[in-house]
């Protein structure tokens, strides 16, 4: 459920079922504490709307997710770049001997040089692909002649520098060679996430040497992209290591997620952004997680939280919109993006859940005598003084007498007026509370349970009885 609307009474009940506990209560004000020690004040007269990610936001920089659901794009050589040093068979363009979709051992590049010689190839541009790029891998089918040594280096050229180029040993079988690869999670020139413009400018590099003959039959580049990270952190109940986003060693990356439209209305008191995260092991340096939001085009991070090896919930509360400095509006909420920032040392960091709570005071809703009445509407209406008589038909909670409202025992009315008239009648017939005690207690219970709704038993009613038959005053 990506959107959940609750009264604060329902919210407290749910949190208690999740292992939270009440550590303080004063009238309508309750203080909850989570199992991790998070303190959450709650005003029982308010409502809470919980919103969870439903789409990728402006940034998907975290490289990995589990389970992986990324898409792949394979791009192949389209031209030679610069001076080519390997030998093409048949003679002609070098790139066209290694660009096949299916390996073809009838054309290839080779070398008999005992020192490294290199080819570089332009690659096809992407077309309609979009989304965050989590990995770029250069791969080649390659082999060496039997009885000789052979080695290969694969990489990418960015600007005037070749990156990767780690030596790998060639083997003699099978006949079509084996696959050697060089992988890059980040752009090695910038140490930041890849962009599609960088993919389009990419040049593939292959370098070989042998004391006999070394061959490359096929070369291609695989781009992994478009991971839908938001659906790994959108659960109503955190699912731990079942789904999560994560970053590896010595990285500082973040994600933002869009939210569904709000359904509540009223005055927003604050928002509270939650993340549930952990580190994989205690080995090496610490790992950290921070809440991350974007509002009005500006990103904001919460305080840095040192992670443990077990999942823990962390949160940041914003009483006002940090971009405007004033109270949140519902338009702000609809445009809000939330997320997480993970900062690692020599361990991995994982985040399994992200969501935001919007705490607000709902607007008043008129009640009639047929309404059951719940939450703040009933309470606020109770405090509105209004004189009612037996001829009034729009009663309900609005008609609840307060110190300025007086009903005579002869009045019958409807809704609350009728209940109060019956109370007075019970008091009058017996000459005091003692005689009508049973019915008075029952009627008072009916009055508050039927008109004020769930949770109203916490209200304190005071009845002032001036004289027999003289009416009464009721207030909270």
Task: Say how many residues make up the chain.
Answer: 476
In a domain? residue 127: yes
What's 235's domain CATH number? 2.60.120
CB neighbours of 447 closer than 8 A, spacing ≥ 6? 416, 419, 420, 423, 461
CB neighbours of 375 closer than 8 A, spacing ≥ 6? 7, 8, 9, 44, 45, 47, 362, 453, 455
* Domain with 191 in it: 71-225
Q: Are residues 219 and 254 in the same domain?
A: no
Instruction: Map 334-369 to HEC letters.
Output: HHCEEEEEEECCCCCEEEEEEEEEEEEECCCCCCCC
Q: Binning pLDDT at 50, 70 and 90, where does residue 98 land?
A: very high
- The residues pairing with 298 across neighbouring beta strands, listed in sequence order, are 295
Distance between CA atoms of residues 242 and 450, nearest Å = 45
Q: Binning pLDDT at 50, 70 and 90, where does residue 227 land?
A: low
Query: pLDDT for 436-465, tens place per residue?
Result: 344 444 444 444 443 344 433 333 333 333
Closest CA to 234 of 316, 352, 333, 319: 352
Q: Are residues 213 and 120 in the same domain?
A: yes
Asked which of 190, 225, 260 is the last residue of a domain, the reply is 225
**Poorest-pLDDT segment among 59-63, 152-156, 277-281:** 59-63
**Three-state SS at 314:** strand
Structural domains in the chain (count): 3
Q: What burial letters (b/e) apply to 429-454, b meaning 16+ CB within 10 Å? A: eeeeeeebeebbeebbeebbebbbbe
Dihedral through CA 14, CA 16, CA 20, CA 21, nearest 10? 140
Q: Are residues 232 and 209 in the same domain?
A: no
**In degrees, to the nearest 5, what angle opens at C-alpha 277 toward C-alphas 132 and 41?**
120
Share of the chain above pLDDT 70, in %: 75
Q: Are residues 100 and 153 in the same domain?
A: yes
133, 60 Cβ separation under 8 angstroms: no
Phi, psi of 330 (to 5 degrees): -70, -30
Distance between CA atoms of residues 355 and 339, nearest Å = 8
Q: Binning pLDDT at 50, 70 and 90, where does residue 212 land?
A: very high
Q: Are residues 337 and 395 in the same domain?
A: no
Closest CA to 302 of 335, 272, 345: 272
Distance between CA atoms of residues 346 and 344, nearest Å = 7
Asked which of 163, 192, 225 is the last residue of a domain, the reply is 225
In a domain? residue 90: yes
**Res. 410: pLDDT tops 60:** no
Closest CA to 94 of 74, 116, 111: 111
Q: Are residues 450 and 338 in the same domain?
A: no
Closest CA to 459 of 31, 33, 44: 44
Residues 271-293 have a mean pLDDT of 91
Distance between CA atoms of residues 338 and 181, nearest Å = 36
In a domain? residue 366: no
Note if the pTM is more than 0.85: no
In a domain? residue 260: yes
In a domain? residue 264: yes
Q: Are residues 422 and 446 in the same domain?
A: yes
Looking at every residue in the chain, the average pLDDT score rounds to 81
CB count in 10 Å sphere of residue 211:
14
Q: Are residues 11 and 91 in the same domain?
A: no
CB count in 10 Å sphere of residue 17:
8
Q: Binning pLDDT at 50, 70 and 90, where does residue 22 land?
A: very high
Q: Are residues 212 and 254 in the same domain?
A: no
Distance between CA atoms of residues 322 and 299, nearest Å = 9
In a domain? residue 370: no
**Three-state SS at 45:** coil
**Res. 129: pLDDT tops 90:** no
Alpha helices in 188-329 (DSSP H): 196-200
Q: Higher-confidence residue: 375 or 357? A: 357
Q: Is 365 exposed, middle or buried (0-12, 13-18, 19+ CB in 10 A)?
A: middle
Q: What was the pLDDT predicted at 249?
A: 78
Q: Are residues 314 and 352 in the same domain?
A: yes
Query: pLDDT for 379-407, tens place per residue?
Result: 333 333 443 343 444 434 343 333 333 33
Q: Which helix (H) or strand (E) segment is 117 a member of?
A: strand 117-123
Distance between CA atoms of residues 50 and 66, nearest Å = 24
Distance between CA atoms of residues 183 and 111, nearest Å = 24
Q: Are residues 204 and 242 in the same domain?
A: no
Q: What was the pLDDT predicted at 448?
A: 40
Asked which of 199, 225, 251 is the last residue of a domain, the reply is 225
Q: Which helix (H) or strand (E) segment is 448 a member of?
A: helix 437-452
CB count in 10 Å sphere of residue 411:
18
In a domain? residue 367: no
Here the tokens at position 71 are 């898409």
Distance between CA atoms of residues 232 and 243, nearest Å = 5
**Three-state SS at 414:** coil
Here the tokens at position 304 are 């840095």
Residues 10-34 have a mean pLDDT of 95
In a domain? residue 306: yes
Query: pLDDT for 61-93, tens place per residue?
Result: 888 888 876 789 999 999 999 999 999 999 999
Q: Are residues 120 and 252 in the same domain?
A: no
Distance between CA atoms of residues 98 and 154, nearest Å = 14
């Amino acid at each position: 459920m990506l959107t959940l609307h609750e009264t604060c009474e329902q919210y407290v009940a749910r949190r208690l079922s999740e292992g939270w506990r009440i550590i303080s209560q004063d009238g309508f004000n309750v203080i909850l504490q989570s199992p991790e020690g998070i303190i959450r004040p709650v005003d029982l007269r308010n409502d809470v709307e919980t919103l969870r990610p439903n789409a990728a936001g402006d940034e998907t920089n975290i490289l990995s997710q589990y389970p992986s659901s990324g898409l792949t794009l394979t791009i192949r050589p389209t031209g030679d770049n610069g001076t080519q040093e390997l030998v093409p068979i048949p003679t002609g363009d070098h790139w066209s001997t290694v660009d096949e979709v299916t390996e073809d051992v009838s054309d290839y590049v080779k070398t008999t040089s005992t020192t490294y010689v290199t080819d570089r190839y332009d690659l096809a541009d992407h077309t309609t692909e979009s989304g965050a790029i989590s990995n770029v891998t250069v791969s080649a089918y390659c082999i060496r002649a039997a009885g000789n040594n052979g080695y290969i280096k694969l990489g990418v050229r960015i600007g005037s520098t070749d990156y990767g180029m780690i030596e790998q040993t060639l083997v003699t079988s099978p006949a079509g060679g084996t696959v050697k690869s060089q992988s890059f999670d980040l752009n090695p020139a910038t140490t930041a996430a890849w962009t599609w413009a960088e993919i389009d400018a990419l040049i593939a590099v292959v370098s070989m040497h042998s004391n006999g003959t070394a061959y490359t039959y096929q070369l291609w580049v695989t781009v992994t992209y478009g991971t839908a990270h938001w659906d790994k952190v959108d659960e109503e109940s955190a699912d731990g290591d079942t789904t999560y986003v994560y970053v590896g060693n010595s990285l500082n990356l973040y994600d933002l997620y869009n939210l569904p439209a709000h359904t509540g209305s009223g005055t927003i008191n604050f928002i509270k952004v939650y993340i549930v995260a952990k580190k994989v092991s205690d080995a090496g340096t610490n790992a950290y997680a921070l809440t991350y939001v974007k509002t009005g085009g500006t990103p904001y991070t919460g305080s840095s939280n040192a992670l443990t090896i077990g999942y823990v919930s962390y949160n940041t509360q914003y009483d006002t919109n940090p971009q405007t400095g004033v109270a949140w509006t519902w338009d702000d909420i609809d445009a809000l993006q939330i997320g997480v920032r993970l900062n690692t040392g020599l361990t991995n960091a994982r985040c399994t859940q992200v969501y935001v709570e919007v705490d607000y005071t709902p607007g008043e809703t008129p009640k009639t005598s047929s309404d059951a009445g719940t939450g703040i509407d009933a309470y606020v209406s109770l405090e509105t003084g209004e004189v009612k008589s037996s001829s009034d038909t729009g009663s309900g909670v609005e008609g609840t007498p307060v110190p300025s409202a007086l009903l005579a025992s002869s009045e019958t009315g409807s809704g609350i007026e009728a209940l109060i008239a019956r109370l007075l009648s019970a008091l009058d017939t017996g000459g005091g509370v003692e005689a009508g005690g049973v019915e008075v207690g029952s009627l008072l219970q009916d009055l508050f349970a039927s008109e004020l709704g769930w949770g109203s038993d916490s209200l304190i009613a005071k009845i002032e009885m001036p004289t027999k038959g003289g009416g009464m005053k009721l207030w909270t």
